[in-house]
Amino acid sequence: MSTSDDRPFEKPEAIGHAMRRRPVPRKKLSDVVEEELEQMIRRREFAEGEQLPSERELMAFFNVGRPSVREALAALKRKGLVQINNGERARVCRPSADTIISELSGMAKDFLTKPGGIAHFEQLRLFFESSLVRYAAEFATDEQIARLGKALEMNSQSLDDNDLFIRSDIEFHRELAEIPGNPIFMVIHVALLDWLIAARPTVSLAELHAHNNISYQQHIAIYQAICKRDPDAADKALKSHLNSVFAAYYPAKK
């Protein structure tokens, strides 16, 4: 007499009320190698500046082929955990602020294409630069204010050249971001401007030229407020400027 234990094992099609059977995805070998090496690096089994074993040694250790090892090392390089130079073994390093922002870049650009994405990033820039100008008005050194003034002169000299003006405009805002002396601020600021400028629609040369003159006058207002050590006035001038920039590229629909 057979019992239920004598029947061949059958995979259930469902467990409970919600879980239906589906195949569990298998990890690529390169992903497994990447994760193992990353954990070794984070546990300090390989010190910063130390070279990893050779590709051949890693292949033997993980029992995988060369492509899997190379893919894993390339992924670690993107994360800023190793440096790879031609003809040398990968060397352990620590992620920099640039690496972190670079990892976010693809996601940021995707987000900018979503409805409201640009407005959200412009608001982020407004909050960020608002803090920068307030800090500058209170703590900028005479030398830093002088550099900001030179960037303003570049603004003035490039009013008739749209490409040059955009570069001088970026330089003016870059000088603001440099004043706190925090390298993370600089990396975030550069990335924000890169993402936003790349996403801007094309406007006519005549409109752009008119906007350049407005931006220049607004830069003067920001600079003068910083020179007077007036953070409230600097903040007000900056907000007027960035709102004007947004309106120039994204006019309100009638």
Alpha helices in 140-250 (DSSP H): 142-157, 162-178, 183-199, 205-227, 231-249
More confident residue, 193 or 217: 217
Which tens digit of pLDDT belongs to each residue from 32-63? 999 999 999 999 999 999 999 999 999 999 99
Report the alpha-carbon distance of residue 73 to residue 90 in Å, rounded: 8
SS3 state of residue 15:
strand
pLDDT of 20 over the 70 cut: no
pLDDT digits (tens, 9 = 90+) for 73-85: 999 998 889 999 8
Tell me the pLDDT tens digit for each residue of 119-172: 888 999 999 999 999 999 999 999 999 999 999 999 999 998 888 999 999 999
In sequence order, which residues have a C-beta less than 8 Å from that of residue 62 and are 6 or more positions away?
29, 32, 33, 36, 68, 69
Whether the full predicted model's pTM is greater than 0.75, yes or no, is: no
Specify whether the CB–CB gap between 64 and 33 falls below 8 A: yes
**Residues contacting residue 129 through CB under 8 Å, at least 6 positions apart:** 173, 176, 177, 189, 238, 242
Domains and CATH numbers, the chain: 29-92 (1.10.10.10), 99-249 (1.20.120.530)
Check: CB of residue 137 under 8 Å from CB of residue 236. no
Which pLDDT score, from 0 to 100, does residue 169 have?
93
Whether the Cβ atoms of residue 140 and residue 234 lie closer than 8 Å to each other: no
What is the C-alpha separation between 1 and 236, in angstroms, rounded? 89
